Structure 1
């Protein structure tokens, strides 16, 4: 098990909370890679608002919950979920609940509450499964696998966050990934779109809608590839779907009515009157 704590070393007013937790067993759950010709531009609509983790190191819970509220090929993004019989909105409170559970299921020292020690993408995925919101999850171990995973839905990504990355270009909406800047911490976020023309990925953050462009920004493909090479990880939940209700039973005929119809048909036959079977 490769576990690394990524301390926060900045004073920008934003929180992180993602740590490295790479389990060798995850290699058994590698996401498949599609042919290059199958990779198209995708843009998955988010139904839930952009969250704001504020002073809590809950980015992993926020990213996982952001996925719940975003469309995928499997289903429309949810605005509410049912957990243990309770219907809960897909919002910051749910994100904190996912974070709490993730801190119990990961291998990072400390659990929230009371210890706001952060978690991992793996811990958040385990929390989604424990809550019955996902049936499992896979991992994209290459840029090609990441693009393939995005063809059917958004993913959550955990990487280092550099000092330069707090800033986005107001004209293009791209994150400034200066690879020579200092590591400010570890962060988890959602990738919800891929543009083949610009070769870029859109990320949805959890710092409120005043960051970036209404809470989102873009990464170049080369920057994503570099970030993933710095002990990054990509987690792809397999969503639990609500089973279709069973078909309504066919009503059985009242035996008294059957007897009456039989008598009437017998009388009609005796009197040479045509009969119908009904429908």
Structure 2
């Protein structure tokens, strides 16, 4: 295990399970902003909105399926859920089927997400425990490694600035790990989690992973990005009843305010798959 990892852990809850893990070796793989025009982009997942909660109601019985003593109704599997939404965009329906991901069935896709989560906890070798023995949470870096080891992506890159973040979204969706404040759990009618101007002083509930699917609005002035007016949209994994049919929004200003606790990872499929 690399000894120069930067690791920030959070208290896990059945709906919040992301830890921040940064590796300088992979952070070197960035696509710097070179001044190219930034345009609004949108990437639509090919799967229904997933729900890492209410597992029993979905017909997912962890005691039977994963060898637990009793069923759990929610898991800290946001990294696996976000990665599954992202994969459904990167892969064609045929490629997804070949990888074991049924894009037409929400329960089957949630099972797939749980499998990614389990593997991610194994790749997070800085942790002593793994799921399903313990619901310990995982990292965006861990699940990106899983996708690469399964041969589902060619590589993954990072963004560490607002401009780099927007540059990645020109090419595809990204995984975003972020600190989750209690205000974020009560988005406004348009799905903005940062609608409350005092969100930063609301309690920190844990860490969360989402799939950013759109650079919805881009505003610049004199060639400079205006973070307060630039909006991203993300797919959450708390069912379609959350926020805007399962999607949330925030401004790049909010990303910048949290940046030291955020990691942006873009798994990429640059080669041609048969």
TM range (shorter): 0.7 to 0.9
RMSD between superposed Cα atoms in Å: 2.0
- Residue by residue, what CA displacement relative to the aligned partner does 1:138-182 show, whole Å, maximum 9, x if unpaired? 111111110000001010000100011101111x32113611111
Secondary structure at the aligned position of 2:154 is classed as: strand
Alignment of 1:89 onto 2:102: yes
In structure 1, the residue matched to 2:63 is none
For residue 215 of structure 1, the aligned residue among 246, 250, 253 is 246
Shift of 1:8: 4.0
CA distance in 2, matches of 1:190, 1:88: 17
Equivalent residues in 2 for 1:1-279, closer than 5 Å: 1-8=5-12, 15-35=15-35, 37-54=36-53, 55-70=74-89, 80-83=96-99, 87-90=100-103, 91-106=109-124, 107-170=126-189, 172-176=190-194, 178-194=199-215, 195-197=217-219, 198-229=229-260, 231-239=261-269, 241=271, 243-244=273-274
Shift of 1:241: 5.0
Shift of 1:239: 1.6
Stretch moving more, 135-144 or 154-163: 135-144
- Residue by residue, what CA displacement relative to the aligned partner does 1:8-67 show, whole Å, maximum 9, x if unpaired? 47xxxx6111001111212321223241x4200111122111111111000001111110
CA distance in 2, matches of 1:240, 1:213: 31
Shift of 1:80: 2.8
Contact preservation (8 Å) 1:68, 1:77: no
Contact preservation (8 Å) 2:214, 2:234: yes
Normalised by the length of structure 2, the TM-score is: 0.79
CA distance 1:79–1:49, shift in 2 (3 Å): farther
Normalised by the length of structure 1, the TM-score is: 0.77
CA distance in 1, matches of 2:33, 2:128: 34
CA distance in 1, matches of 2:17, 2:127: 11
CA distance in 2, matches of 1:123, 1:61: 10
Contact preservation (8 Å) 2:46, 2:85: no
Contact preservation (8 Å) 1:51, 1:92: yes
CA distance in 2, matches of 1:22, 1:76: 30
In structure 2, the residue matched to 1:274 is none
CA distance 1:133–1:49, shift in 2 (3 Å): same
